[in-house]
Amino acid sequence: MPLLPTSRYLLILLALATSCGTDTGDEPAPASVLPESQHLTLGNPSGALTDVNQPMNYLLMKPQYALSYHRDRGTPNWVSWHLEAADLGSASRQDNFAPDNTLPTGWYQVQATSYPGSGFDRGHNCPSTDRTATVADNSATFLMTNMIPQAPNNNQRTWANLENYTRTLVSATQEVYVIMGSYGKGGTGSNGAATTIDQGRVTVPARIWKVLVVLPVGDNDASRFTSATRVIAVDTPNENTVSSTLGHYRTTVDAIEAATGLDLLSAVPTSVQASVEAKVDTGPTQ
């Protein structure tokens, strides 16, 4: 079941009790308890925890984004991030793809060399260009836990168009929440169809999806949701023949939830969720 907001508050209280209410005074909080993140303001879609006993739904919290990692697929289930004007600066693209050494000891770390030659791009979930405030922010997007094997035309045209459009929505008066993920097995890259790469250690997803939530700049974002809030949901095939026109792939949050088993926007009031999650956005996307 997804980790609902109330449950997260209880986890925080537990962490405080652990750090302040013991005889030793220096026992660490449980590994599964992490501070709240602005990147999970709208909810934790899979109830992910930083717990080695949940290898298929392992929560990684970065200053730049949050994600649920699937050890056996070698890719994230979803990545969630908040985007505002302050995130867009002048730092250049670092291109320093690297394994993520924050994964638990003994877990395979996907390498920078795991994708080249496979016919699939190292496809960012949280885009490099969404994190240009500092070099450190940009570098964080090149961790391999933020990557999926993505068909080149899907990555470089279809998703690039949506990423560029997303940044046009960000201004001094407007902010965006983004959740991206993938599901299924088997895509078609420049070398043809494949179900895995990296000697079977990385699964090629069949579908790639994204949900954008556009809000005026403000506080208490989840509670400011209304039935008029713009929510853009897109679900594309991971194929090199994919159209560059995103209008073909617009869908509903409800449909993505049905396909993935996730509970998106779980921190938003239930009555509002029912309204916005059933709508297909009709505004511009590129």
What single string gives the DSSP state of each residue in 209-265? Answer: EEEEEEEES-SSGGGG--TTSEEEEEEEE-BTT--S-GGGGEE-HHHHHHHH---TT
Collapse the DSSP code of 89 into the 3-class scheme (helix H, G, I; strand E, B; otherwise coil) and give the result. coil
Whether 124 is a known active-site residue: answer yes
Predicted local distance difference test score (pLDDT) of residue 30: 34
Q: Digits of tens for pLDDT over the chain (286 positions)?
A: 343 343 343 333 333 333 333 333 333 333 333 445 899 999 999 999 999 999 999 999 999 999 999 999 999 999 999 999 999 999 999 999 999 999 999 999 999 999 999 999 999 999 999 999 999 999 999 999 999 999 999 999 999 999 999 999 999 999 999 999 999 999 999 999 999 999 999 999 999 999 999 999 999 999 999 999 999 999 999 999 999 998 899 999 999 999 999 999 999 999 999 999 999 999 988 7
Return the ∠ at Cα 82 (arms to 42 and 272), rounded to 5°: 30
Predicted local distance difference test score (pLDDT) of residue 13: 36
Please pick, among 39, 70, 124, 248, the residue that the annotation labels catalytic: 124
- Determine the length of the chain: 286
Those residues with Cβ within 8 angstroms of residue 174's Cβ, 6 or more apart along the chain or in another chain: 214, 215, 216, 217
Predicted local distance difference test score (pLDDT) of residue 16: 34
Give the amino acid at 129. T
Report pTM. 0.88
Element (DSSP H or E) covering residue 66: strand 66-70
146 is in an annotated binding site: no
The CATH classification number of 5-276 equals 3.40.570.10
Collapse the DSSP code of 16 into the 3-class scheme (helix H, G, I; strand E, B; otherwise coil) and give the result. helix
Predicted local distance difference test score (pLDDT) of residue 37: 84
